[in-house]
Structure 1
Amino acid sequence: MLIVVTASAVWLAKTSNRVRKQAAAVKALEQNEAIVQFDESVRAPKWLRNAVGEEYFRSAKSVDFATNRGRKSGTKESKANDETLQYLTSLGHVEELELGNNEDVTDDGLAHLISLKDLSTLYLYRTGVRGPGLEHISQLPKLTSISFSRSPLDDSGLVHLGSMSRLAWARLDYTNVTDAGMVNLKGATALETLSLRRTVITDEGLRHLEGLKHLKSLDMTGTNVTLNGVQRFKKAVPKCNVTVTFGLGVEPNDELLFPPNHVPTATEINARLKELEINGEVKTDTSIPGSPIVSLRLWGCNLSDKSLLTLLEAMPELQQLNLRRGLVGDEFIAGIGGKRIRTLSLRGTRVTDAGLKHLAKLPNLMALYLDETDITDKGLACLHEIKTLSDVSFDDTRTTRDGESKLREALPNW
């Protein structure tokens, strides 16, 4: 009996200290508006739970600072910074840590994560992490997933990523990594998913990844790799699915769908699209006199700016235009001025900043989708005067949070 009592006393004292530290840490984190979730599955007799309290049988499993785009309510202040991360040292059983959208988190702050031995997933997208600080987390035994999208990560960080033998999932999109850094990833042999979207990687860098035999998915969208480079990689890692956007040599098609001066009907247009195996369709509105064409959808279409502009001449009442992943560009935008278009999707097209200035000629434009294009904050500035806009999307572009904030301030309805 004495042994049992002594053991219980030791456990209670030790656990009390842990619980006290955890409670203080959680309070500090929640004051910074972090969301902390707990694992409460620890088994214990009900009488013991009632005697000492439920907090003795739960531990923090995830901490999330990314909600509300990493900002404290009603302010532009980041929820997390390097100093904030010190409270994590008392949460040794955290498995998932979400630090995304907090630019004030830098390499220095990562030193506070060295005690998180159960950490398996770490999100560092849109932070200030450049790379040297990854040394502090490179030996975490359970870390398998990590994201640096839109952070200033450079080749200095890849030295440490390459030493993470358990790493299976990594996103390095929109970072500053180069071909020279890819050689350091050879040691990350457990990698199954790797994304390098919108980086400057070329065929030379791709060759350094040929030793990653467990890769199942490699995203090279918007990089400088070529068809020859991808084919070489596929021979080395045949089971890996590679995503690219260089079009495999596809060029815009200037061929007109109909003879000059012919104004096609909706039925004729849909029949022609089906004949050419083009993924698209037009729709009419029978509630409007004359049942005009009000909607046009063309997905993955290789028609040129000139061809599409000619086609649109038959659609003066057009309200919705979806050209997702088409080969249209700035010349097309310059030519659609004055239309009644309300919704315009240019996702994955060749549109640039130079073309966006022409959108001001669309007086009824309410929704605009520019995801997966090469636009920057300079292009967003061209949208400031389009006060009719109430829905704007530009994910996977080269824009910044500052550019987004300025656009929101300029658009009263967004």
Structure 2
Amino acid sequence: MAPRVACRTVCVVALLLACLGCIEPDNTGNSVDPNARLDGTMQGPNFRKMKNKLLPQFAGNASAALEEHGVEIRRDEQGRIIGINCRDTEITDAHLERLKPMIRLERLDLESCHYITDKGMVHLPAVRSLRRLSLRGTSITEAGLAHLQGMELVSLRIPESLRTDIGLQHYLRAIARRSRFHLDGWQITDAGLGHLQELVGLQSLSISDVPITDAGLAALLELSELRSIGLRNLAIGDAGLVHLARLSSLNQLVLIRTGVTATGIQSLQAALPNCRIVVVY
């Protein structure tokens, strides 16, 4: 009987300590919630590695919490965090909320972090110093991308599934104002090109491998400061050049593997005598 009493006593003591917050209770259940870790109330993917860590210490140290998940952290000479590489780790939306106090954070790589969803995007605009963000391989949708509006990001990488008409609109509203822009491989329609008017002051535009038609080029007329255009691997022809002929500010046009003809180019050159036109069939 004595061993049973001793065992019962140990269990009672452990339960009391858990209730007081001194230790996390051991839960060996197989079901895990990937979107909980920081408040200690639920399990995360790395629960078994974390369960011996004191809850108060974990909750109070954001960088320690991230590093526990294999995150690489870069600091400046004063020890302030300026870069976080979370690529291919099991961090969650809850971890992103802990980034708010990092007032010097400039770069955040969340590539292949599958537990990052739209809920996590809500926290990123609060990190006002953030300039470079990679979201490839995350689980965000177009709705999550919309939360990034006004962040003025210098670099933004998004999942392939978001390279759509609506995705482009949200993308352009999240990036910083720029004079040059390259639209490559996006699955957008003619209507999607209309979102380029978000780029106020755009002077150089390159479009390649995008499923647009002649009609879509009419959207470029809204870009009054456009000086240079490059079009490659597009299903456009002479009908599209009619729209470009109205861009009086244009001084350079490069057409590579499109459907334009020599006749169409001659007409365009006559309409834009000061524009240098290069064609590669």
Q: TM-score range by the shorter chain?
A: 0.5 to 0.7
Cα 1:59–1:177 shift into 2, 3 Å = farther
Q: Which residue of 2 aligns with 1:154?
A: 164
**Mapped partners of 1:241, 1:25: distance in 2:** 50
Q: Which residue of 2 aligns with 1:58?
A: 79
Q: Which residue of 2 aligns with 1:6?
A: none
Is the Cα–Cα contact under 8 Å of residues 193 and 219 in structure 2 kept in the other structure? yes
Cα 1:191–1:145 shift into 2, 3 Å = farther
Q: Which residue of 2 aligns with 1:26?
A: 63
Shift of 1:190: 4.0
Is the Cα–Cα contact under 8 Å of residues 124 and 147 in structure 1 kept in the other structure? yes
Cα 1:87–1:127 shift into 2, 3 Å = same
Deviations 1:87-125 (A, max 9, x none): 322323222233334455443321120112122233334
Cα 1:171–1:35 shift into 2, 3 Å = farther
Is the Cα–Cα contact under 8 Å of residues 146 and 170 in structure 1 kept in the other structure? no
Q: Which residue of 2 aligns with 1:94?
A: 105
Cα 1:80–1:216 shift into 2, 3 Å = farther
Amino acid at match of 1:245: R
**RMSD (Å), alpha carbons:** 4.0
Residue 176 in structure 1 maps to residue 187 in structure 2: yes
- SS for the counterpart of 2:65 is helix
Higher mean C-alpha displacement, 214-223 vs 175-184 = 214-223
Shift of 1:221: 4.0
- SS for the counterpart of 2:222 is coil
Identity across the alignment (%) = 26
Cα 1:193–1:62 shift into 2, 3 Å = farther
Within the candidate set 76, 91, 104, 1:39 is matched to: 76
Cα 1:134–1:187 shift into 2, 3 Å = same
Shift of 1:246: 3.1
**Mapped partners of 2:227, 2:139: distance in 1:** 29
**Mapped partners of 1:24, 1:221: distance in 2:** 50
Is the Cα–Cα contact under 8 Å of residues 161 and 188 in structure 1 kept in the other structure? no
- SS for the counterpart of 2:221 is coil
Within the candidate set 226, 248, 257, 1:245 is matched to: 257
Could you tell me which runs of 5 or more consecutive residues in structure 1 were left unpaired when the two chains were aligned.
Answer: 1-19, 41-56, 72-77, 251-301, 303-414
**Mapped partners of 1:195, 1:21: distance in 2:** 47
Amino acid at match of 1:146: L
Counterparts of 1:15-414 in structure 2, within 5 Å, are 24-40=61-77, 57-65=78-86, 70-71=87-88, 78-102=89-113, 104-140=115-151, 142-148=152-158, 150-163=160-173, 166-168=176-178, 173-191=184-202, 196-213=207-224, 220-226=231-237, 228-229=239-240, 232-233=243-244, 236=247, 238-239=250-251, 242=254, 244-246=256-258
Cα 1:245–1:95 shift into 2, 3 Å = farther
**Mapped partners of 1:210, 1:105: distance in 2:** 38
- SS for the counterpart of 2:75 is strand
Cα 1:39–1:105 shift into 2, 3 Å = same
Instruction: Give the structure-2-normalised TM-score.
Output: 0.55
Is the Cα–Cα contact under 8 Å of residues 153 and 176 in structure 2 kept in the other structure? yes
- SS for the counterpart of 1:208 is helix
Is the Cα–Cα contact under 8 Å of residues 107 and 132 in structure 1 kept in the other structure? yes
Is the Cα–Cα contact under 8 Å of residues 184 and 210 in structure 2 kept in the other structure? yes
Is the Cα–Cα contact under 8 Å of residues 90 and 114 in structure 2 kept in the other structure? no
Instruction: Give the structure-1-normalised TM-score.
Output: 0.40
Could you tell me which runs of 5 or more consecutive residues in structure 2 were left unpaired when the two chains were aligned.
Answer: 1-56, 263-280
Deviations 1:198-219 (A, max 9, x none): 3322233332133334557766
**Mapped partners of 1:85, 1:192: distance in 2:** 35
Aligned length: 206
**Mapped partners of 1:247, 1:197: distance in 2:** 13
**Mapped partners of 1:106, 1:218: distance in 2:** 36
